[in-house]
């Protein structure tokens, strides 16, 4: 772990002499950053009275305010509490070309010691894992993560608190909590050092900066940003251009493909049978979703499947069992430019439902390992990473209590052809088919491989895949109703 | 007010025969809507048990789920309560090409009768005014607003509640509140009729639909959407293309221009004087913002001014008095595509601060009546309407308790020239100047007129303009600190 040890007691003269060049470098780098697909996340943590807000204020005076923002995290709002822990951080991540300064972050949560029952070691370990995973995801996505720990010894902290207390404008900052942290300085510092070590990683290393002298501290932080950002932009600039079209895919886990191909598709269900059973399952699904709402559990349905597999129709039947005020259907099409400026999961995190509500994703994050993999919209390392990122995302949802129900609607290639032709013949369905659908159809075998890998690599107990044979629409719809009702009942222990 | 009175007791046979054609029309219209800059807002209100959620579920089954969304408004979240009443509606407005079905809306607030102290007539009148203004703004912006009142007589309501109560799957909906509303049916209906009349307007008319027969009701709502949407798309399609470049502007209110031109710009302030006074005012501003936070009052600073007037520098000095965790600077540049798909105020509503926090807009909604007016980015009716829309927006902020402080930073044309040249000479300032700045400079006189109109038409007691002579940077910065501190102190009664 790097330890930047600036000279103590830097004179104002030297400081003033060095600042203009530093400012110039910072602003120049911001100009370059703005044009790049990189983003910067500066996380400031440290001992009480180490000067986090002074550093931010100083940086604010040096940086171009148009290219950065400070995000402070206080007590979570109710909208935040009703979602997984990391939701509040996802919603505030800097976009491409921007610098986000996080005053408070997941480390506030990790280091929190002063309220509530103490966290168990296993909980701490899980949170550390969560943080490592999140930072790796961001770093892999081109985010430069700079984590600064502003360090004060106990003696220095005492001096600093006394200075703050003596000034009527800053005395308010010496709160009982600050005094408590001072008393516990050494034990807190040991814990913090341990947690820094546990969350120190190549893409998100910690840098400890001595905060005893405020001028030296400010310069050290700015120097660090300049050095890291310059190196990062150089790396980004020299990254190879997007590789050519991917070759025909090879199966990563043939078991998934085998599972897919083994699915029988010739089910029959008469109209009369369907009608008679539908009401029963609609009722059960309705009761199950209401029970989930009463229990403040939210539900996420994921619909994936071949073009024309009947996702839209199935979603309509499913939603007919849910109060229209409780669900939202998110059709996943081309991302907006705000979405494109973030990690691919960002646009899905946006729509994670509040407690007791339902989000239905009509296509989803699985696009990353299907269309994006096959069309070369992302690189091979990107889609290969995605399986793990997705499992982690769904794991966070499940850990929060969200019930995740994923459907793959499966039809045969012949059935798809029938449906495409049918669509072309029906006036009000014609808009549902276009040249791209025909193009995708020609890649059927490649898609089968990608779907198989998806099934094999993201079928987890907390978020299993339900394969729905869908050549027979009625059968598929009924099975979706049944599966949904049972999955919710089981999650609720009904 | 139109009253659609469908035939009672529509047979299932006739219903089933009519549905396919209606569905086809709806989906066809959705396809056209998707390609247009129009948006649709369907507001469903009505007597208890009138079938609002059944109508939405039915429509959901008919519409293409990719082009619409249902938004339900329940109890406001804390993030919503900490902002003006309409914030929660702004954040859920449909974007271009989309249909939003609002289950619950501002009418829920208006019609609310069952908790809290009764609203005073003056409060109701103000809310009605607020609603009329909001709906006009949306309608002027190309939103088709369809407001449906699902009507049930007291006897029909009794029958319907009995049906709901008899079915174990729906009995839960007959809540004590539903029973109370039934008891008070006639008086509530009178109030609702009065409020419908008060909020009936050309751009947002009410349509009362008899809800006694559910099939007839569903068809009537869908028919209404088809009819209104077809007419609306026809109007949008036949609207004239954007007019040519605007002619040289004429002053609407010469008093504003006179005020601008009368501003003396030759202030002096020595470096020593500045240093000595700055600390005092930074301290006062710091205390004032902390007092505002303690009082849960949020603050909005608006910075407008000529290019190179010193907005960035002034903002940096201002923010140095505020804890970095409490403010956010919003640099206003080109809107994102999500922002472009909404009313121009939407992107500013997004950033309205929570209680106790500060948002600093570096340029703002005033772009509508400055650059957009002069460059022809919006039509003349659009920028002319904007003065009233802006006053209403700021009025809502003030009514909510937000302290609004607006600065116009004024420099002479010669001073601008000096600063442009200076920027070109200084390496780390060079990115701040480009060809557009030189182009805008050539339109100085036109801008003066637009600025004058802005000053005259949007200078309101709750959100006054502060003109800052800014040829002398030190003087300008100090005056901004002073003005900000005093404005906050005054708002807080300090």
Q: How far apart are CA B379 and CA B381, in angstroms?
A: 6
Collapsing DSSP to helix, strand or coil, B416 comes out as helix
Summarize pLDDT for B163-210 with one digit per residue, the tens.
999 998 788 889 998 999 999 999 999 999 999 999 999 999 999 999
Contacts with B291 from chain A: Cβ below 8 Å = none
Q: Are A169 and B66 in contact (CB < 8 Å)? A: no
Which pLDDT score is estimated for A242?
Answer: 67
Strand order through the sheet with A465-469: A327-331, A358-362, A299-305, A403-410, A465-469
Which pLDDT score is estimated for A1?
Answer: 47
Summarize pLDDT for B436-488 with one digit per residue, the tens.
899 999 999 999 999 999 999 999 999 999 999 999 999 999 999 999 999 99
Minimal Cα distance from B427: which residue of A?
A: A24
Contact B72, B41 (CB under 8 A): no
Tokens of A350: 């946006």
User: Rounded to 10 degrees, what is the CA torsion of A18, A23, A24, A25?
Assistant: 90
Which pLDDT score is estimated for B428?
Answer: 65
Task: Write out the CATH class of domain B2-237.
Answer: alpha beta
- Interface test mutation site (partner B, options A303, A325, A426, A431, max chain B beta carbons within 10 A): A325
Q: How far apart are CA B204 and CA B136, in angstroms?
A: 7
What does chain A come to in residues?
494
Collapsing DSSP to helix, strand or coil, A141 comes out as coil
Minimal Cα distance from A24: which residue of B?
A: B428
Summarize pLDDT for B65-105 with one digit per residue, the tens.
778 888 988 889 999 999 999 999 999 999 999 999 998 88
B266 close contact with A: CB closer than 8 A: no
Is the ipTM reported for this complex over the cut 0.90? no
A325 close contact with B: CB closer than 8 A: yes
List per-residue pLDDT tens for chain A, 494 residues long.
445 444 568 899 999 999 999 999 999 999 999 989 999 999 999 999 999 888 988 998 888 877 888 898 888 999 999 999 999 999 999 999 999 999 888 998 888 765 567 788 898 999 999 999 999 999 999 999 999 999 999 999 999 999 999 998 788 889 998 999 999 999 999 999 999 999 999 999 999 999 999 999 999 999 999 999 999 999 998 887 766 677 789 999 999 999 999 999 989 999 999 999 999 999 999 999 999 999 999 999 999 999 999 998 899 899 889 988 899 999 998 899 999 999 999 999 999 999 999 999 999 999 999 999 999 999 999 999 999 999 999 999 999 999 999 999 999 999 999 999 998 887 767 777 888 899 999 999 999 999 999 999 999 999 999 999 999 999 999 999 999 999 999 999 98
Summarize pLDDT for B249-261 with one digit per residue, the tens.
999 999 999 999 9
Contacts with A104 from chain B: Cβ below 8 Å = 325
Residue B114 has pLDDT above 60, yes or no: no
Which pLDDT score is estimated for B1?
Answer: 47
Collapsing DSSP to helix, strand or coil, A373 comes out as helix
Of residues B455 and B61, which shows the higher confidence score? B455
For residue A291, give the nearest of A128, A485, A153 by alpha carbon.
A485
Contacts with B60 from chain A: Cβ below 8 Å = 316, 319-320, 324
For A342, residues 6+ apart whose C-beta sits below 8 A from its C-beta are A93, A95, A96
A287 close contact with B: CB closer than 8 A: yes
Q: How far apart are CA B151 and CA B8, in angstroms?
A: 13
Q: How far is A252 from chain B (nearest CA, A)?
A: 33
Which pLDDT score is estimated for A4?
Answer: 47
Contacts with B23 from chain A: Cβ below 8 Å = 428
Q: How far is B328 from chain A (nearest CA, A)?
A: 7
pTM for the model: 0.90
B315 close contact with A: CB closer than 8 A: yes
Contacts with B65 from chain A: Cβ below 8 Å = 312, 315-316, 319, 329, 331, 362
Provide the CATH topology of domain A254-492: Rossmann fold (3.40.50)
Which pLDDT score is estimated for A471?
Answer: 97
Q: How far is B311 from chain A (nearest CA, A)?
A: 11
Q: How far apart are CA B308 and CA B416, in angstroms?
A: 6
Q: How far apart are CA B66 and CA A366, in angstroms?
A: 18
Which pLDDT score is estimated for B400?
Answer: 96
Collapsing DSSP to helix, strand or coil, B265 comes out as coil
Q: How far is B296 from chain A (nearest CA, A)?
A: 15
B23 close contact with A: CB closer than 8 A: yes
Q: What are phi and psi of B364, to 5 degrees?
A: -160, -160
Which pLDDT score is estimated for B204?
Answer: 97
Q: How far is A48 from chain B (nearest CA, A)?
A: 15
Which pLDDT score is estimated for B266?
Answer: 86
Element (H, E) at A365: none
Contacts with B336 from chain A: Cβ below 8 Å = 336-338
Q: How far apart are CA B219 and CA B262, in angstroms?
A: 64
Contacts with B325 from chain A: Cβ below 8 Å = 53, 56, 70, 72, 74, 103-104
* DSSP code for B159: H
Produce one character per residue of A401-433: b if its CB has 16 or more CB atoms within 10 Å, e if not.
ebbbbbbbbbbbeebbeebbeebeeeebbeebb
Contacts with A57 from chain B: Cβ below 8 Å = 319-320, 323-324
Of residues B243 and B406, which shows the higher confidence score? B406
For A185, residues 6+ apart whose C-beta sits below 8 A from its C-beta are A47, A154, A157
**Domain map of chain B by residue range?**
2-237, 254-492
Task: Write out the CATH class of domain A2-238.
Answer: alpha beta
Which pLDDT score is estimated for A470?
Answer: 97
Q: How far is B304 from chain A (nearest CA, A)?
A: 15
Q: Are A428 and B316 in contact (CB < 8 Å)? A: no
CB atoms within 10 A of CB B240: 6
Pairing of strands A403-410, A299-305: parallel
Q: What separation in angstroms does the CA of A259 have from each of A67, A303, A388, A484, B313?
A: 49, 18, 21, 21, 63
Q: In B51-182, which ranges are E strands?
A: 68-72, 99-103, 143-151
The reply to whether B254-492 shares the fold of B2-237 is yes
């Amino acid at each position: 772990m790097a330890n930047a040890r600036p000279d103590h007691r830097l004179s104002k003269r030297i400081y003033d002499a060095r600042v203009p060049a530093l400012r110039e470098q910072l602003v120049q780098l911001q100009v370059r950053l703005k044009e790049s697909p990189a983003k910067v996340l500066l996380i400031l943590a440290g001992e009480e009275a180490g000067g986090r807000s002074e550093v931010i204020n100083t940086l604010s005076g040096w940086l171009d305010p148009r290219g950065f923002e400070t995000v402070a995290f206080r007590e979570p709002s109710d909208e935040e509490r009703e979602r997984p822990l990391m939701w509040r951080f996802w919603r505030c991540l800097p976009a491409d070309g921007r610098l986000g300064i996080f005053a408070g972050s997941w480390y506030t949560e990790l280091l929190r010691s002063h309220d509530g029952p103490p966290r168990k070691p296993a909980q701490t370990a899980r949170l550390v894992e969560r943080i490592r995973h999140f930072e790796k995801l961001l770093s892999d996505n081109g985010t430069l993560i700079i984590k600064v720990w502003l360090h004060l010894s106990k003696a220095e902290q005492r001096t600093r608190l006394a200075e703050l207390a003596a000034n009527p404008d800053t005395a308010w900052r010496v709160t009982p909590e600050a005094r408590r942290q001072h008393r516990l300085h050494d034990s807190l510092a040991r814990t913090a050092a341990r947690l820094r070590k546990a969350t120190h990683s190549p893409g998100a290393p910690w840098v400890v900066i001595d905060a005893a002298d405020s001028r030296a501290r400010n310069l050290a932080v700015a120097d660090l940003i300049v050095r890291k950002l310059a190196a990062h932009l150089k790396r980004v600039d020299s990254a190879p251009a997007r590789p050519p079209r991917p070759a025909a895919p090879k199966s990563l886990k043939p078991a998934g493909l085998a599972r897919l191909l083994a699915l029988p598709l010739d089910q029959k269900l008469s109209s009369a049978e369907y009608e008679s059973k539908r009401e029963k399952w609609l009722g059960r699904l309705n009761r199950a979703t209401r029970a989930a709402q009463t229990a403040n559990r939210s539900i996420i349905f994921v619909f994936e499947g071949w073009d024309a597999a009947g996702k839209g129709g199935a979603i309509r039947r499913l939603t007919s069992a849910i109060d229209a005020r409780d669900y939202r259907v998110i059709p996943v099409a081309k991302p907006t430019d705000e979405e494109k400026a973030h990690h691919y999961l960002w646009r899905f995190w946006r729509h994670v439902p509040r407690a007791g509500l339902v989000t239905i994703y009509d296509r989803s994050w699985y696009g990353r390992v299907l269309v994006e993999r096959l069309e070369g919209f992302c690189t091979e390392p990107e889609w290969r990473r995605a399986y793990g990122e997705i499992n982690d995302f769904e794991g966070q949802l499940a850990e929060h209590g969200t019930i995740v129900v994923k459907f793959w609607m499966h039809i045969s290639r012949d059935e798809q052809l029938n449906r495409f032709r049918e669509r072309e013949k029906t006036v009000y369905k014609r808009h549902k088919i276009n040249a791209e659908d025909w193009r995708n159809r020609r890649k059927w075998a490649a898609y089968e491989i990608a779907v198989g890998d998806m099934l094999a690599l993201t079928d987890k107990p907390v978020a299993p895949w339900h394969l729905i044979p869908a050549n027979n629409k009625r059968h598929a719809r009924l099975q979706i109703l049944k599966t949904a009702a049972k999955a919710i009942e089981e999650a609720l222990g009904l």
